[in-house]
């Protein structure tokens, strides 16, 4: 009997199999290793999916760190194909989007910059490209919609200002909060960030729409124009 046959999950006692455990006890009972093993479905030659999952987590430390990787970071895991790596990264992205959907459904009230950061940092902090979002708020500071603009929009200030204000008017928003990430991890505003914010505030005033804040998300830290007295 080969090592690969011995270490296959299907040859484990039923009580030890992650898939059976999921249906028996619920997915919330599974460890990160067991969840990842289910995504991998099978191991590589001489190693079970659970053992491989444990090695992957030992290398990257967390699902969050895993989401930041590219194919070069996985090359030490011999026999692990691009299809399985794509499955793992897709599952992590689904988790992020689920969190965003829950925020949308809750229609939360915004009382401070921390509320916004708590809501969106998990979605923005690890992205390798700059992404721009706008919270459209009603008269009670409750979220009507979270609008996602095109990537790199701060560098194209005039088109994005028009797009934001058009959407705000169509959704009857009373105020807005802009949020974008800095892939470098440093949330300090650039000159372009400052110029964009000034243009947006002035344009919004003519339409009686308030810009409450512009928040820049970094790596576990953020910058708020409102908190810093810049709006």
pLDDT per residue over 48-99, tens digit each?
Answer: 888 999 999 999 998 888 888 889 999 999 889 999 999 999 998 888 787 6
In a shared domain, residues 72 and 111: no
In a shared domain, residues 35 and 119: no
CB 154 within 8 A of CB 194: no
**Cα–Cα distance for residue pair 195/202, rounded to 1 Å:** 11
Residue 231 counted as domain residue: no
**Cα–Cα distance for residue pair 7/138, rounded to 1 Å:** 57
Global pTM value? 0.60
Highest mean pLDDT among 114-128, 140-154, 194-208: 194-208
In a shared domain, residues 72 and 49: yes
pLDDT at position 6 is: 46
CB 201 within 8 A of CB 178: no
Q: Is the pLDDT of residue 150 over 90?
A: no
pLDDT-based confidence at residue 142 (cuts at 50, 70, 90): very high
In a shared domain, residues 54 and 123: no
Q: Which of 98, 133, 153 is the last residue of a domain?
A: 98
Please state whether 37 falls in left (phi above 0), alpha (psi between -120 and 50) or beta.
alpha
Cβ neighbours around 67 below 10 Å, total: 18
pLDDT-based confidence at residue 216 (cuts at 50, 70, 90): very high
In a shared domain, residues 152 and 192: yes
Q: Which of 66, 98, 130 is the last residue of a domain?
A: 98
Sign of CA dihedral 24, 26, 29, 32: positive
pLDDT at position 159 is: 61
Three-state SS for 166-226 is: HHHHHCCCCEEEEEEECCCCCCCCCHHHHHHHHHHHHHHHHCCCEEEEEEEECCCCEEECC
Q: Which of 70, 98, 126 is the last residue of a domain?
A: 98
Q: Of 109-113, 140-144, 155-159, 167-171, give the lowest mean pLDDT range.
A: 155-159
In a shared domain, residues 117 and 163: yes
In a shared domain, residues 144 and 116: yes
pLDDT at position 98 is: 78
Residue 229 counted as domain residue: no
pLDDT at position 19 is: 86
Number of domains in the chain: 2
In a shared domain, residues 114 and 219: yes
In a shared domain, residues 181 and 77: no
In a shared domain, residues 147 and 177: yes
In a shared domain, residues 57 and 142: no
In a shared domain, residues 198 and 123: yes
Q: Is the pLDDT of residue 30 over 60?
A: yes
Range of the domain at 53: 3-98
- Please count the CA atoms within 13 angstroms of the CA of 5 that sit on its side-chain side: 2
Q: Is the pLDDT of residue 5 over 90?
A: no
- The CATH number of whichever domain residue 156 belongs to comes to 3.40.140.10
Please state whether 79 falls in left (phi above 0), alpha (psi between -120 and 50) or beta.
left
pLDDT at position 42 is: 83
**Cα–Cα distance for residue pair 144/135, rounded to 1 Å:** 8
Please state whether 13 falls in left (phi above 0), alpha (psi between -120 and 50) or beta.
beta
């Amino acid at each position: 009997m080969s090592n690969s046959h011995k270490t296959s999950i299907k040859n484990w006692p039923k009580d030890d199999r992650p898939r059976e455990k999921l249906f028996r006890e619920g997915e919330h009972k599974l460890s990160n290793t067991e969840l990842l093993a289910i995504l991998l479905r099978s191991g590589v030659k001489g190693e079970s999916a659970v053992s491989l999952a444990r090695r992957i987590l030992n290398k990257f430390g967390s699902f969050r760190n895993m989401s930041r990787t590219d194919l070069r970071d996985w090359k030490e895991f011999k026999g692990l194909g691009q299809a399985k790596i794509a499955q793992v990264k897709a599952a992590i992205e689904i988790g992020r989007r689920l969190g965003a959907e829950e925020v949308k459904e809750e229609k939360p009230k915004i009382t401070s910059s921390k509320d916004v950061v708590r809501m969106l940092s998990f979605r923005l902090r690890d992205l390798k490209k700059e992404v721009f979002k706008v919270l459209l708020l009603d008269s009670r500071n409750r979220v009507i919609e979270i609008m996602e603009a095109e990537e790199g929009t701060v560098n194209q200030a005039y088109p994005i200002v028009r797009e934001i204000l058009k959407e705000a008017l169509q959704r009857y928003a009373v105020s807005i909060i802009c949020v974008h990430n800095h892939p470098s991890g440093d949330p300090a505003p650039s000159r372009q960030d400052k110029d964009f914010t000034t243009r947006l505030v002035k344009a919004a005033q003519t339409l009686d729409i308030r810009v409450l804040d512009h928040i820049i998300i970094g790596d576990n830290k953020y910058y708020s124009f409102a908190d810093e007295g810049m709006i």
